[in-house]
Every structure is written in structure tokens, then in C-alpha cells.
Amino acid sequence: MSDLQAFQAETRAWLKENCPASLLGAGGGGLVGTWGGRKWQPENEDQRVWLERAAEKGFTAPTWPTDVGGGGLSKAEAKILAQEMRALGVPPPLIGFGLTMIGPTLLQYGSEEQKQEHLPKIVRGEIRWCQGYSEPGAGSDLAGLQMRAEDKGDHYIVNGTKVWTSYADEADWIFALVRTDPKAKKQEGITFLLIDMETPGVSVSPILLISGSSPFCETHFQDVKALKSNVIFKEHAGWTVAKALLGHERSMVAEAFGGGSRRSLADRARAYLPGATADGPLPDGGLRRDIASFEMEARAFGLTMQRSRDAAKAGQQPGAESSIFKIVGTELNQRRQELLLHIAGPQALGWEGEGFADGELATTRDWLRSRGNTIEGGTSEVQRNIIAKRVLGLPD
Amino acid sequence: MELILTEDQELIAKTAVDFVGERSPIARMRALRDDGDPAGFSRELWKEMADLGWVGIPFAEVHGGADLGLAELTVVIEALGRGLAPEPFLSTVLLAGQLLQRSGDDAACARWLPGVCAGDTILALAYQGVTSRYDAFSPSVVATASGDGFRLAGQAIQVLDGHVADALIVSARTSGEQGEASGLSLFVVPKDASGLEIVRQSRVDGRNAALVQLDDVAVSAADALAGVDGGGPLLQQTIDRATIGLCAEMLGGMQQAFELTLEHMKTREQFDTVIGTFQALKHRAADLFIEIELAKSVVMAAARAADEAGADPGELARHVSVAKAHCSEAYVHITNEAVQMFGGVGMTDEYDIGFYMKRARAAELTFGDAAFHRDRWAALGGY
């Protein structure tokens, strides 16, 4: 038996032994699951047990080093773990921006003390993180941010407002971009700073979206004291860290919207189209071709992500793929949401209440939510500018 | 399957790109057109390509081939697509050659393939009539039983390289109804067969094609590859594999057209600045770049899927349809945008970019356009 086969057998046995039976098949992933944090209230005891056991094993952050509480697994082993979890229907024990965004960034740019301070708490789901990047006056032009951090020796005094801070009302800590040198060129006066959300002067107000939900907040900072020991990398060098983190975020957004196994669009269409038979051609030829067109482009996108992964595995330098993936992944998801509207027809118009199935109501809200995909994490227009400049070498 | 070139494939690709740069720039294709060259391609260059081992890539070693796959062949054809090289890869290697190889007909392979691999023999496939459109099972040639053989009558259109072919493989209906896979037979017909008339056709892309008339051409049952009535599935599978090759050519052409356009954007000045500074053009260029990146993936995946032993025919057909639909739209879009961004000079014959726009259209309308392949994808998916 090879090492990987042994690992697979061991992992399967461990998962069967340790994941509470009530959670099997619960799904999760993307933005659904256990976020953890100080304010977290488990829906049931099993959820808490599963988080604790997985964290103890290092399986909440399988590829992170063991000295910060990670699993220390190789990529091949992590892939097996993911496969086994899917096969058994084991839900992810923990999700969130700690694992996908600030964690990888700390591993790359954090000091040893910072890693030891923050990463184990992420692994155990004790601290939930949010992102403080955009401001009311700094969206696509992120480097134009104004939130001021004034030097007071061993600490800063922070004043300003962050917007689109996802789930800030649930978060314990924020990783934020602050302006430490207002005189420098705009990219050069920015510092990447970690701030405890319980610090006096921090306040949060949720933003109601067109979809009716409020996943984003506005976060205000009034004379907030932040220690300099919480600067990541170097003072005034925050733009470098921010770009690295945006790379993680774009891959995450693209992966989340890129594919996944779902009930086929054609099967959904059969349920709504008059005259549809169980296995014949869909009676609406235009819709049929739109579905085919979407599925084929989604496959082309999936193959491109695979090509990029295969190149990385072979040790080749990554190209500008992460920018391409953001544009294509998000636009494909918007197309998918629009197709779902067209498939459901008037039944896609429900907001709440009688006469609409849960899935139909979700279709309406998901469509509205998807319009933000091409804005958040760097708009599609900014992504196109990046490709034109960095990849194609077109002049400013 | 791994979507990455092996070291050997990288080497083949580099050799091919260098070869095209030095020996087959687009100026060569222009000269062949302007001179009204009777062959429409270079026999010397074809022979060189054979000596480099490219022509024999997919054929068995016993016939002089390299016994490699589409993964290797596509990198060569992609490079040739950059220079719009008119040499007969599509007709002789991808269509007729692969059809012979995959028929398992040892006698026919031994007769024709050594000459193909050596670069001496040109073959062509005659399978479309005026009304066939993209249906491989609706030829305009009918075979009537006569003695222990058949007599072929009818017409085949746009037979690629038919005017220089040493032999044609003619698809004819021996029984059954048009549109059905069964009842189709593939006969090998030498160019000097009595009753065979081959007239060169002139196409918008300057690529070599011929109109073939058959007037009571006698063939024997033994000349039918895959047997009498049994050619349909073989023909469809071969066209699918050839489509992957065509997509590789399109991928090469779209990259070259895009690079020419980028160069133009960086040098052409209007309003006291180079036009590449305009965001309206930058964003369009970024979109074209994305289309090319996706095209690279789908062509690579289709070639590898075809090379996998025991590939599921349905899954391979899906790969082919994804590749052809995407490459068709991408190549046409990129060359339309290229001409637009070149502006007035893009409309002149003097500039090369027009050649790519013409070839993009011809390639789009060969083996099915995007709409055809979406329809096929839906049918394969049971909807």
C-alpha cells in the first residue's frame, strides 16, 4: 500500500469515527457553514463537537503548518481529505475569511509572533475575521483610501470608515488598509493593520441590499487605538500585502462561482416548460440553446482552471490567471442566475409568502445577489485594466 | 488527463513555431494566391514537413509514421495556423489519412499511408453535397449495386485538396435513408478512375478545394473501408478528430491575428497618442485575450481526450463540440475586432489581417459552427 493509500484509509476511518452522524450530508461550502468566532452560536451540539475534533486534528486548515495548528498535509493529501469528505458527505468543520484570506496572507507576510498569535485561533474557529478595504470614496480606485492611522509612538490612532465589510457585525477582528503617510504617492503611504473589533470607537451598521439581505456593513472608526505590533509586513508597505490578499480573494470568488454539481438546468427547465417530455428536446429552442451555450462556456472555464492548476503542479510560474478567473467566473455565475430566472419565468418574481416555492424565492434573491459578483473583489473593469496593462503591455 | 505540454511536446511546438517564423510567414500564402499557383501549396515544404516527422505523427510506425497522437499533431498545426499555411494536413492527415488508419483495413493502409508519411501522396475526403450542410450522413453521392461492386454517381463539394489528390475517399449512400449512420459506405477511388471529374474551386480564404463529379464510377465492395454500409460511425469519429485539428489551426490563427492587433494598438497614433491608451480598446483587447486563454484549454483537453485509449465516444464528442463552438466564435470575434481596430487599412488587401478574417469564417463554417455544436451538445445531454 502506498503512503497516499494508507493516508486515505486512515483519513476515512478517522472521519467516520469523528464526524457526528447527524451532520452527514448536511452540505455546506462556499458561504454556507460554520463561521466560528466569539459570537458564534452553534445550531446544535454536534456542530460544536465536529469543529473541536477537526481543529484538534488540524483538519480545519489542512495544509497549514502543524506549529500553528494546521494539519501539515501535502497538497496531494489535502486533495484526498477533500475527496473523502465529499464521498462521506462530511461538511466542512469551519469556513470563513480567516481560513481563505488573512490566514494565507499571514503565512506569507506575517512575523513569527503574529502567526503564533492569530493562526491557531483561526484554526480553532475562536476568532472570526472581516476585511476592511473599500471606503465610501475608494472603490475601484482602492489605493485612494483615506482612513487615517496617526503615528503615536507604539500605536496608531485610527479614524475613518470602511464599507462593504462582509459580516463585520459578526466579526471579532478586522484586517484593514489604513493611510499612515498622507504625503507619499498613494500606493506608498498605506499600511496593512489588524484591529480588534472590540476596541472602543469601532461601530458597525449593516447595509440593506436589493436582494433583501445584509451581508455587508459600514464600519466606523473613531479615535481607535491600534498597536503597531499588529502591522503586517512593514509600515507603508501595505499595498504589497493587499495585492497578495486580493489574489487569494479572487481565486476564492472565482472558485465559488465557477461550477459545482447541481441539478441540471435542462431538468429544471422541463419542470416549467409546457409540453416538455421526460427525455425529449426542450420545447423552447432558444432556451435550450442558451442552456447549452452556458454549460459549454462553463466547461471551457473549468478546463482553464484545471490547466492553470496543472501548470502550477508542474512548477511553472502562474500567469495572470487569477484576474481572468475573476472576470469569467463571476460573469458565468451571472449568466447562470439569469438562465434560472428565464427557466422559472413568472415564478421567478416572488419576494416572499404564498404561491412561490422556496427554491423559486431563492432564485430571485440569488439573481439579485449575483449582480454584485462583478463589482466585489475588484470590478470586472478593473480586472480588464489589469490584463491590458500587465499581460498585454498596453500603455497608460 | 493533464492539461500541460510534456517536454517532448514543448520541443515539437518550439520547432514548429520557429519553422513557421522562418519558412512559412503569411507572405508565402499571399504569394501562392497572387501567383495563381496551380497546386495552391508548396510540395517542397510539404516534403520538408514530412521529413521533420510531422506528416506521419498519427500513423503507425509500420507505415513510416511516429505512432503519436493528436496532442502532438495539434501543436504543429497550431503553429502552422499562425502563418495560414495551406499545406494539406486537414485533407491528407486528419481526414483521409486518419480514416484509413482507423478503418483497420491493412491492405488499404499499406497501399496509401507510406506515401502519405513520406510526403509524396496527397489524399482527400469527398463527403459533403450542396444540401448536406454539417450532416456527415447525407452525402450527395449514391452507390448502385452492379455485379459484385457498385457504381457511384453524384457530386461532392469543397473537397479539400481534391484537385491535387492521388486518391479520394468518397462517402456514398449504399442503403438506408439520408441522415442515418447505417447504409453509408466509404470507397477509395484513385484520381484516374473512369467517370471521375475534379474541378478546382475558388474560396474566400484561398484554401484549396475542389468540386468532384462522379458519373458511373466503378468501385468494388473490397474498396469500402469498414465494409459496405458500415462507414457512418467511422466517418463521424474521423470528422470529430479532424475538428480538433482544425480547432488547433484556429487557435494559432487567432493568436497571430491578436498579436498583430496589439502591435498596431501600440504603434498607431491618433489624437496625439497611441490608440492602445484608449480604455474602450483596452477592455476589448482584454476580452479577446480571455477568449484565447479559454481556447487554449479546450483544444488541449479535446486532443488529450481523443488520445485516451477507450475514450467514451459521447464524452469525446462533447469535448469536440465545446472546442469547435468556442474556437469558431473566438476566431471570428477576434478577427472582426482586429479589422475594426486596424481601421481603414484593415480593409485593404495590402494588410495581412484580412486574410485571418477570411480564414476565420471558412474555419467557422467547416465541421459545424457554434450553433450546430450547441445543438449537438444539447442532444448529447438528452435535452
> What is the nearest CA distance from A325 to chain B, expressed in angstroms?
9
* Residue A306's pLDDT band (cuts 50, 70, 90): very high
Interface membership of B276 toward A (CB under 8 Å): yes
pLDDT reported for residue A33:
84
pLDDT in tens, B233-246: 999 999 999 999 99
What value does the mean pLDDT of chain B take?
96
Measured between beta carbons, the chain B residues lying within 8 angstroms of A327 are 286, 290
pLDDT reported for residue A75:
85
- Chain A, window 354-393: residues with a beta carbon less than 8 angstroms from a chain B beta carbon: 381, 383-385, 387-388, 391-393
What value does the mean pLDDT of chain A take?
90
Q: Rounded to whole angstroms, how far apart are CA atoms B184 and B227?
A: 9
Cβ proximity of B209 and B201 under 8 Å: yes
CATH class, A129-236 region: mainly beta
Average pLDDT on B137-149 reads: 95
Interface membership of A235 toward B (CB under 8 Å): no
Share of chain B above pLDDT 70, in %: 100
| CB-closest option in A288, A324, A388 to B285 | A388
Which residue ranges does chain A devote to CATH 1.20.140.10? Answer: 259-391
Is residue A319's pLDDT more than 70? no
- CA angle (A336 as vertex; A334, A338 as ends), nearest 5: 70
Q: Rounded to whole angstroms, how far apart are CA atoms A92 and A59?
A: 9
Hey, are the CB atoms on B4 and A310 less than 8 Å from each other? yes
**C-beta pairs of A27-34 under 8 Å, 24+ apart in sequence:** A27/A91, A28/A91, A28/A92, A28/A95, A29/A91, A29/A92, A29/A95, A30/A95, A30/A256, A31/A95, A31/A256, A32/A95, A33/A91, A33/A92, A33/A94, A33/A95, A34/A92, A34/A93, A34/A94, A34/A95, A34/A125
pLDDT reported for residue A43:
86
pLDDT in tens, B152-194: 999 999 999 999 999 999 999 999 999 999 999 999 999 999 9
pLDDT reported for residue A324:
87
What's chain B's Rg over C-alpha atoms? Answer: 21
Share of chain A above pLDDT 70, in %: 94
A249 is catalytic: yes
Sign of the alpha-carbon dihedral angle for B103, B106, B109, B112:
negative
- Location of C-alpha cell 449504399: B174
CA distances to A116, A169, A204 from A192, in Å: 18, 21, 20
pLDDT in tens, A8-37: 999 999 999 999 998 887 665 566 789 999
pLDDT reported for residue A262:
55
| CB-closest option in B3, B290, B370 to A306 | B3
Q: Most A CBs within 10 Å: which of B294, B304, B316, as the mutation test of the A interface?
A: B294
Q: How large is the ipTM? A: 0.94
* Residue A86's pLDDT band (cuts 50, 70, 90): confident
Measured between beta carbons, the chain A residues lying within 8 angstroms of B282 are 384-385, 388, 392, 394
pLDDT reported for residue A258:
44
Is residue B205's pLDDT more than 90? yes
Cβ proximity of B347 and B357 under 8 Å: no
Hey, are the CB atoms on B4 and A303 less than 8 Å from each other? no
Lowest mean pLDDT among A134-143, A320-329, B341-350: A320-329
Homologous superfamily assigned to B125-225: Butyryl-CoA Dehydrogenase, subunit A, domain 2 (2.40.110.10)
Average pLDDT on A38-42 reads: 92
Interface membership of B277 toward A (CB under 8 Å): yes
- Location of C-alpha cell 485575450: B289
Hey, are the CB atoms on B262 and A392 less than 8 Å from each other? yes
pLDDT reported for residue A29:
55
Sign of the alpha-carbon dihedral angle for A351, A357, A360, A362:
positive
Which residue ranges does chain B devote to CATH 2.40.110.10? Answer: 125-225
Interface membership of B351 toward A (CB under 8 Å): no
Nearest Cα residue to B52 out of B79, B26, B25, B32: B79
Q: Rounded to whole angstroms, how far apart are CA atoms A253 and A260?
A: 13
pLDDT reported for residue B257:
98
* Pairs of CB atoms within 8 A across A/B: 120
How many other CB atoms sit within 10 Å of the CB of residue B108? 20
Kindly report the CATH number that applies to the domain delimited by A259-391: 1.20.140.10
CATH class, B232-380 region: mainly alpha
pLDDT reported for residue B381:
93
pLDDT reported for residue A261:
40
Cβ proximity of B336 and B304 under 8 Å: no
pLDDT in tens, B27-63: 999 999 999 999 999 999 999 999 999 999 999 999 9
Q: Rounded to whole angstroms, how far apart are CA atoms A364 and A349?
A: 6
Which residue ranges does chain B devote to CATH 1.20.140.10? Answer: 232-380
Which residue ranges does chain B devote to CATH 1.10.540.10? Answer: 7-119
pLDDT reported for residue B195:
98
pLDDT in tens, A225-239: 999 999 999 999 999
Q: Right CATH number for B7-119 from 3.40.1280.10, 1.10.540.10, 3.40.50.12780, 1.10.240.10?
A: 1.10.540.10
Q: Give DSSP secondary structure letters for B98-131.
A: HHHHHHT-HHHHHHHHHHHHHT---EEEE---TT
Phi, psi of B197, deg, nearest 5: -125, 125
CA distances to A114, B102, B135, B229, B379 from B234, in Å: 64, 7, 14, 11, 20
Q: Rounded to whole angstroms, how far apart are CA atoms A149 and B140?
A: 79
| CB-closest option in A282, A300, A314 to B326 | A300
Cβ proximity of B44 and B24 under 8 Å: no
Catalytic residue chosen out of the listed positions A56, A249, A338, A352: A249
Report DSSP state, residue A237. Answer: B
Q: Rounded to whole angstroms, how far apart are CA atoms B104 and B230?
A: 13
pLDDT in tens, B327-357: 999 999 999 999 999 999 999 999 999 999 9
